[in-house]
Structure formats: structure tokens, C-alpha cells
């Protein structure tokens, strides 16, 4: 694995190198799905491991995620042709009244790096907007974040709105943010909780058994 | 105090040993005779609501909670015989978006405080900190629109509602800073803190100071909470290197000085951990928080912020029940006892204060670069580098370079322990810092091009 230029380019956060390695591999007939699952996702897994071990910080995660994305831009059309799908689709946003989006943006980047398709609704997202996005995009997961204790109730309100709209059972709900706890997630009926961005990717994969 | 500029090499303190708790060159008198920075450290209490939706149906309960919190902390101050008290009311965003809500709670709190002043003679004051809500709209409109107008309305209503001091945690430049921080992109950070934020600080604080002068209220200060404390929080979560957070702290100083250039007089906001630089350069009293703020957030800065504080704060605490009492009362208790210790040390003179200050510094500084840059001698060195520069951009650049030098010297002398990973990042950041040009126009043009299409309006910053 470590001898593979695509794996190394993603691991080192070399976007140009990742793109070049994908181009070269495709030119000699490599299988797009194999490039993704054998080299790119394992490279991101290694990046996540190094982050968890304290060897890497978020900047390194982000440049690796960008390298992954550069390679994926070439692979995505080919994967679509073969019917291959992303690991899953996630709708993300901060809840109504909450403008703190660093954590949300990080989760979005990490999910993309982990092979998910991400639909980012931005900040200050009300229950009705989450509901509309779920109806439109049919995601596997909706991920909400809040930094303020006074905006946390927006998570509960959104889950209640999903229930009212009859789509609660069609999507998994994941929540996070500084004041949010696992207990709160259980109280409001969320399916998953994470206190970190890398944990969010693990939780998302676990929710989908990916 | 007239408007001042902090350039030309002059500091307000003569030496690092003058950077002590309780004393500032320019004390501030406020409230019913409370004097901040004249020798005694004053507890500054702040509190907030537990998880609750702010709506017309919950408003009566919200008012009741604020009454309960204010009454509770005042009773504890009276019971402990605290001679002075500063209360900060930091609004929640809906209370600035609708300034009538913010003014109404301010009025409620002021009324309770005034009763306590009358009955018990506690010298006290109320600080109101409206939110910077301009980033409710993305990209933010910094100088117009309903969010800006409602901020102005709350600033204007502050005095009438009974506040004695006005502060803010302003966010100009944050839209660029957030992304730069996550990418450890030093030039983006310096663009945000050295070019964008200063432009906004001049604009914002000119308005605040004018309103304060017209309404007879004190313009206190700002904080780089949205910048340097975001960095500190991310570093605590091991998301970014601690050395980067330390450099962001230093880089945030010139931005914060602009409030004082425009006429603010202090005390600076409690969460402005860059406060010791403000006291050293501008001579204003400062509010600080450390271990006392663990109820709000964790940080590696437990004792060292106390070393130069004039007000000692808890940042904020939710109104939840603890075994002994409601959490705001517990915070009040802790702050008063901390202040007693500091003020007792002061009674024995400057030598005793210096000893305690050094213990407070040394107990934190060895273990974290963010603490190390708050050591008095390091603050003095970085401040000296800052005031030698003629523009805020060059001051920001100088602060970064001086902080890197200080961290290296700290490691070399054994005064600071950095892991191999952190040392690697210090090298990387030093390489980035070496590329920051001396030519401000060249830098601005580079950044305008780099951030073309980014979610911000350069015109909102006069560019």
C-alpha cells in the first residue's frame, strides 16, 4: 500500500499528485472502484488514525480530504457509470439561531473525505428547511450541530418536524456540538451523537453499517 | 481619555515587573464609585440560561431566571462581605436582534443591583455586552442592514436601561479567519486580524464610543474571542497545534488595541486573554478569566490569566442546580475567594504581589505555549515589538514574529516544553511567517486575489 502513489498522495495531502495518480492508473486500465476502495479510502482511514493518535491535526486532515476530492472528481463520473454509489449521503447544518459553523464545516469535510456525499445547508437552518432538504435529496443521515445551549432545542424541534412530516423513519439523525451530550441525543430521539469530527465519520459509517 | 495611537515605541508600563494584578496605569471609575485598576482585584460575574428556547411563551420564565441569578449572586456577595462587584450581562443573540429584549433584561438586572448598592453599600457596576449579530447574514454586512441597526439601538439603550459599561465581542474578519485557522494558514489569519478586523474595529468602536459619550456610559473594551479563543478551543480539542493558537493570541493584540485608540478605556472583556498586552501597551485595566471559567470552557490557562487581572471573571455559567446552590452563586463564591487572596497579597506590597504573580505564571507557562506567551516578560517583549510598528498590519506581523522568537527562546531555555509534533508545527509556521511581506499594499493585494470569491465582502472592510 505504501508504495502506491495514489495512497501516498492522499495521505500526504498532495491534490495534484492524487489527480495525476488517478489519471495514470485509469490510463493503464485500473478499475475506478478499486482505486477508491483499495487506495483512497484506506489512505483517509490512515489520516484519521494519525489524527486520533495525535500525530496529525485538522489542517492535515483537510489537505488530505482535498487530495481525496481532487481524485474523486475524476473518478465520480466513472463510478456513476458503473452504478457505484457514495458511502452514503448526509445533509448537514447548524440549527436555527446558531451561526457557529466551524465544527459543522469540519464534519462536512471529514465526511466527504470518508467517501460520503454531503449536502451542506449552512447555518441557522430551521426544521422546515431540514425537512425540505430530506424530501428533496433523500439522504441517509441528517447531521445537526449547535454551540449554544439556547439553540440546542432546535435539534428536538427538527426531529419533531421530521416526525410530523412522516419522514423520521427514512433518515438517521446525528447531532453534535459543544453543549450537546449523548444523554441529550437519547432524550430527543437522535440516532447518533459525536463529540468530534472524526468521530462523526465513524458514527455515520456505523449508522449505515458501512 | 482622549483617542490615542499605540505606535512610536512607547509602552504604558516601564517594565515587566509592573504588570501586576489589581493595578493599571489608567484606572476606571464606574457604577456607584467602583474603581477598577486602582489596587484591588474585583470579581466580575457573568451567567446565562440553561437550555431553553427564547420565545414569547418562555419569556416570563427567562425573566424569572435572570432575577433568580442576579439575586443569588448579589446575596452571596453580601454574605461574604465583598466590598466590590462587577456584573456582566452578555445578551443572547435574540436579545440583540430585538434590542427591546436586551434592554428589558438589562433593566431588570440593574434594578436588583441598585437595590443591593443602596442596602449594603457594595461598590458595583453592570457591564452590558450586546452580541455582534452582523454575521447572521452570510456574507456579513458589517456597516448597514437591520442587524447593524439593532446593535446600535441596544448600544443606545444601554445607559437608559441602567448599564454602566458597554463592551462587545466583535467579529469583523471572522469569515476569513475561521477557514484560515482550520487550515493553519498564517497569511489568511494575518489578513483577517491585521487588515480586515482593524478596519471593522475602527468603524465599530467609533460608533460605540460616540454613543457612550452621548449617553454617559463607559466604553470598556473588546475581545478576540471569536478568533484567539476559537483557536484555543480547537487546540484544546487537539484539532490545531497549540503553537498556532499561541501565535493567534499574539496576532490578535493589535486588533484589540484599536478599541482603545478609538476611545474605549477598559476594563477589557474577560475572555480577552490578550488583556495583559492591553495593560502593558494602553495602560487600561483588564478583566481576565482562567480556571474560574472552567464552567464555560476548558483551557490550558488556569492560573496565569490571574497574574495581571484587575477584574477576575468566570466567563459565563449556566443557571443549573449544584449540590450547594445554583451554579452562578457557586461561581460568585469562587471569584470572591480568589479576589480575597489576590487583594491580601497586595496589602503586603509590590514584592508580595510579584511573588504571587510569578507563581501564577510559572504554574502554567511551562506546559503550554498559549500560557507561555502570557508571561509578563514575554508580554513585554511582544508588546515592545508591536508598538515599534507604524500600522496595524505591521504590528500584527511583528507580534507573530516576536511570539515565534519567544517560543523558541522558551524551549531553548527550558521554560517551555513542546512535543516533537508541536516543534514541527512551530517550524512550519515560522516558514509561513517569514513569507509575510513588509509591504502592506502588496500583502493586501495578494490576499484580495487569494480570497476572490470567498464568502466575504471586501467593501465592508473599506477594500
The pLDDT, as a whole number, for residue B255 is: 98
CATH number for A5-81 (one of 3.30.360.10, 1.10.1240.10, 3.40.50.970, 3.30.420.40): it is: 1.10.1240.10
The reply to whether B237 touches chain A by the CB within 8 Å rule is: yes
Eight-class DSSP state of B326: B
A113-134 core/surface letters (b: 16 or more CB in 10 A; e: else): bbbbbbbbbebbbbbebbbebb
Closest CA to B426 of B401, B397, B398, B396: B401
Checking if the pLDDT of A134 tops 80, the result is: yes
The pLDDT, as a whole number, for residue B408 is: 98
In DSSP notation, A155-205 reads HHHHHHHHHHTT-GGGSEEEEE-TT--HHHHHHHT-SEE-SSHHHHHHHHH
The pLDDT, as a whole number, for residue B417 is: 98
Q: What is the mean pLDDT of chain B?
A: 97
The ipTM, to two decimals, is 0.89
Average pLDDT value for residue range B198-213: 98
The reply to whether A199 touches chain B by the CB within 8 Å rule is: no
Residue range B335-362, pLDDT digits in tens: 999 999 999 999 999 999 999 999 999 9
- What total of structural domains would you count in chain B? 1
Is residue B450 domain-resident? yes
The pLDDT, as a whole number, for residue A112 is: 84
Is residue B11 domain-resident? no
Please report which helix (H) or strand (E) contains residue B243, including its range. Answer: helix B242-251
Checking if the pLDDT of B295 tops 60, the result is: yes
Is residue B244 domain-resident? yes
A5-81 and A89-207, same CATH topology: no
To the nearest whole Å, the CA of B116 is away from the closest chain A CA by 29
Q: Do B51 and A149 touch (CB under 8 A)?
A: yes
Residue ranges per structural domain of chain A: 5-81, 89-207
The C-alpha atoms of residue B201 and residue B209 are separated, in whole angstroms, by 11
Average pLDDT value for residue range B14-24: 98
The C-alpha atoms of residue B308 and residue B158 are separated, in whole angstroms, by 29
Checking if the pLDDT of B29 tops 70, the result is: yes
Q: What is the mean pLDDT of chain A?
A: 92
Residue A144 exposed, middle or buried by CB count within 10 Å (0-12, 13-18, 19+): buried
Average pLDDT value for residue range B163-189: 96
Q: Do A149 and B421 touch (CB under 8 A)?
A: no
The pLDDT, as a whole number, for residue A65 is: 87
Q: Cell triple for residue B420?
A: 516533537
% pLDDT > 70, chain A: 100
Checking if the pLDDT of B2 tops 80, the result is: no
Is residue B9 domain-resident? no
The pLDDT, as a whole number, for residue B53 is: 86
Is residue B6 domain-resident? no
Closest CA to B405 of B264, B189, B243: B243
Is residue B307 domain-resident? yes
Of the pLDDT bands very low, low, confident and very high (cuts 50, 70, 90), residue B3 is: low
Average pLDDT value for residue range B187-204: 98
Average pLDDT value for residue range B188-195: 98
Residue range B421-446, pLDDT digits in tens: 999 999 999 999 999 999 999 999 99
CB contacts of A196 in chain B (<8 Å) are 237
Q: Do B183 and A59 touch (CB under 8 A)?
A: yes
Q: Is A152 in contact with A109 (CB distance < 8 Å)?
A: no
Give the contacts of B418 (CB within 8 A, at least 6 positions apart): B242, B243, B369, B407, B411, B426
Checking if the pLDDT of B460 tops 70, the result is: yes
Specify the CATH number for the domain of residue B96: 3.20.20
% pLDDT > 70, chain B: 99
Residue range A6-53, pLDDT digits in tens: 999 999 999 999 999 999 999 999 999 999 989 998 998 899 889 889
The pLDDT, as a whole number, for residue A87 is: 87
Of the pLDDT bands very low, low, confident and very high (cuts 50, 70, 90), residue A150 is: confident
Structural domain range at position B332: 16-461
The reply to whether A170 touches chain B by the CB within 8 Å rule is: no
Checking if the pLDDT of A98 tops 70, the result is: yes
Residue range B395-423, pLDDT digits in tens: 999 999 999 999 999 999 999 999 999 99
Is residue B240 domain-resident? yes
The pLDDT, as a whole number, for residue B450 is: 96
Sheet holding A192-193, edge to edge: A117-120, A89-94, A141-145, A172-176, A192-193
Q: Is A119 in contact with A155 (CB distance < 8 Å)?
A: no
The pLDDT, as a whole number, for residue B330 is: 98
The C-alpha atoms of residue B130 and residue B152 are separated, in whole angstroms, by 10
The pLDDT, as a whole number, for residue B190 is: 98
Average pLDDT value for residue range B1-29: 91
Query: In sequence order, which ranges of B168-220 are alpha helices (DSSP H)?
Result: 174-182, 186-191, 197-215
The pLDDT, as a whole number, for residue B36 is: 98
Q: Is A192 in contact with A172 (CB distance < 8 Å)?
A: yes
Give the contacts of B445 (CB within 8 A, at least 6 positions apart): none
CB contacts of B237 in chain A (<8 Å) are 196
The C-alpha atoms of residue B321 and residue B72 are separated, in whole angstroms, by 12
Q: B285 phi and psi, to 5 degrees?
A: -70, 155
Under 8 Å CB pairs connecting chains A and B tally to 65
Q: Counting runs of H as helices and runs of E as strands, what totals does chain B give?
A: 18, 9
Average pLDDT value for residue range B181-198: 97
* Angle B265-B271-B272 from CA coordinates, rounded to 5°: 50
In DSSP notation, B265-325 reads -SPBPTT-TTHHHHHHHH---BEEESGGGTTT---S-SSGGGGG-SEEE----B--B-SSS
CATH topology classification for A89-207 = Rossmann fold (3.40.50)
% pLDDT > 90, chain A: 68
Residue range B355-376, pLDDT digits in tens: 999 999 999 999 999 999 999 9
Q: Nearest residue on chain B to A66, judged by CA atoms?
A: B183
Q: Nearest residue on chain A to B53, judged by CA atoms?
A: A150
Amino acid at each position: 500500500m505504501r508504495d502506491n502513489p495514489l495512497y501516498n498522495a492522499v495521505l500526504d495531502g498532495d491534490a495534484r499528485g492524487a489527480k495525476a495518480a488517478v489519471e495514470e492508473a485509469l490510463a493503464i486500465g485500473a478499475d475506478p472502484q478499486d482505486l477508491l476502495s483499495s487506495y483512497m479510502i484506506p489512505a483517509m482511514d490512515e489520516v484519521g488514525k494519525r489524527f486520533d493518535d495525535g500525530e496529525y491535526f485538522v489542517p492535515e486532515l483537510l489537505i488530505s480530504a482535498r487530495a481525496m476530492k481532487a481524485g474523486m472528481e475524476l473518478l465520480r463520473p466513472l463510478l456513476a457509470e458503473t452504478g457505484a454509489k457514495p458511502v452514503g449521503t448526509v445533509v448537514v447544518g447548524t440549527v436555527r439561531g446558531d451561526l457557529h459553523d466551524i465544527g459543522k464545516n469540519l464534519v462536512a469535510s471529514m465526511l466527504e473525505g470518508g467517501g460520503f456525499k454531503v449536502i451542506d445547508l449552512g447555518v441557522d437552518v430551521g426544521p422546515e428547511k431540514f425537512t425540505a432538504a430530506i424530501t428533496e435529496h433523500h439522504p441517509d443521515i441528517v447531521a445537526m450541530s449547535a454551540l449554544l445551549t439556547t439553540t440546542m432545542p432546535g435539534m428536538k424541534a427538527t426531529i419533531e418536524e421530521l416526525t410530523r412530516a412522516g419522514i423520521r423513519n427514512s433518515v438517521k439523525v446525528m447531532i453534535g456540538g459543544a453543549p450537546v451530550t449523548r444523554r441529550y441525543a437519547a432524550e430527543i430521539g437522535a440516532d447518533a451523537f459525536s463529540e468530534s469530527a472524526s468521530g462523526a465519520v465513524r458514527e455515520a459509517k456505523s449508522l449505515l453499517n458501512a | 481619555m482622549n483617542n490615542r495611537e499605540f505606535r512610536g515605541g512607547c509602552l504604558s508600563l516601564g517594565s515587566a515587573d509592573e504588570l501586576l494584578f489589581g493595578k493599571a496605569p489608567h484606572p476606571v471609575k464606574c457604577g456607584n464609585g467602583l474603581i477598577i485598576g486602582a489596587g484591588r482585584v474585583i470579581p466580575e460575574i457573568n451567567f446565562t440560561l440553561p437550555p431553553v428556547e427564547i420565545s414569547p411563551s418562555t419569556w416570563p420564565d427567562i425573566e424569572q431566571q435572570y432575577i433568580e441569578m442576579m439575586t443569588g449572586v448579589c446575596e452571596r456577595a453580601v454574605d461574604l462581605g465583598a466590598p466590590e462587584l462587577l456584573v456582566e450581562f452578555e445578551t443572547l443573540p435574540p436579545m440583540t436582534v430585538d434590542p427591546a429584549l436586551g434592554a428589558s433584561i438589562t433593566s431588570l438586572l440593574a434594578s436588583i443591583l441598585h437595590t443591593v448598592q443602596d442596602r449594603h453599600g457594595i461598590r458595583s457596576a453592570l457591564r452590558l455586552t450586546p452580541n455582534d449579530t452582523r454575521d447572521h447574514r452570510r456574507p456579513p454586512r458589517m456597516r448597514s442592514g437591520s442587524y447593524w441597526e439593532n446593535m446600535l439601538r441596544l448600544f443606545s439603550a444601554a445607559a437608559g436601561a441602567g448599564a454602566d459599561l458597554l463592551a462587545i465581542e466583535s467579529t469583523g474578519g471572522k469569515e476569513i479567519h475561521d477557514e484560515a485557522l482550520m487550515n493553519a494558514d498564517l497569511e489568511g489569519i494575518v489578513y483577517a486580524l491585521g487588515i480586515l478586523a482593524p478596519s471593522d474595529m475602527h468603524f465599530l468602536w467609533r460608533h460605540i464610543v460616540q454613543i457612550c459619550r452621548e449617553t454617559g456610559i463607559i466604553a470598556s473594551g473588546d475581545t478576540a474571542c471569536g478568533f484567539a479563543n476559537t483557536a484555543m478551543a480547537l487546540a484544546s480539542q487537539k484539532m490545531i497545534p497549540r503553537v498556532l493558537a499561541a501565535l493567534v493570541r499574539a496576532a490578535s493584540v493589535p486588533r484589540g488595541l484599536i478599541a482603545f485608540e478609538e476611545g474605549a478605556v477598559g476594563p477589557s472583556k474577560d475572555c480577552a486573554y490578550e488583556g495583559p498586552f492591553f495593560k502593558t501597551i494602553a495602560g487600561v485595566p483588564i478583566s481576565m478569566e482562567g480556571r474560574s471559567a472552567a464552567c464555560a470552557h476548558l483551557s490550558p490557562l488556569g492560573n496565569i490569566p490571574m497574574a495581571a487581572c484587575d477584574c477576575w471573571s468566570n466567563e459565563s455559567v449556566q443557571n443549573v442546580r449544584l449540590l450547594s446552590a445554583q451554579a452562578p452563586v457557586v461561581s460568585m463564591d469562587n471569584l470572591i475567594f480568589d479576589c480575597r487572596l489576590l487583594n491580601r497579597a497586595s496589602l503586603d506590597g509590590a514584592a508580595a504581589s510579584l511573588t504571587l504573580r510569578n507563581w501564577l505564571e510559572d504554574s502554567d507557562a511551562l506546559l503550554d505555549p498559549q500560557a507561555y506567551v502570557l508571561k509578563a516578560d514575554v508580554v513585554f517583549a511582544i508588546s515592545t515589538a508591536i508598538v515599534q510598528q507604524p500600522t496595524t498590519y505591521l504590528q500584527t506581523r511583528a507580534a507573530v514574529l516576536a511570539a515565534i522568537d519567544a517560543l523558541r527562546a522558551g524551549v531553548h531555555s527550558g521554560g517551555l516544553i513542546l512535543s516533537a509534533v508541536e516543534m514541527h508545527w512551530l517550524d512550519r509556521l515560522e516558514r509561513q511567517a517569514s513569507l509575510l511581506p513588509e509591504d502592506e499594499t502588496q500583502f493586501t493585494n495578494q490576499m484580495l486575489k487569494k480570497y476572490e470569491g470567498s464568502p466575504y465582502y471586501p467593501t465592508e472592510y473599506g477594500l
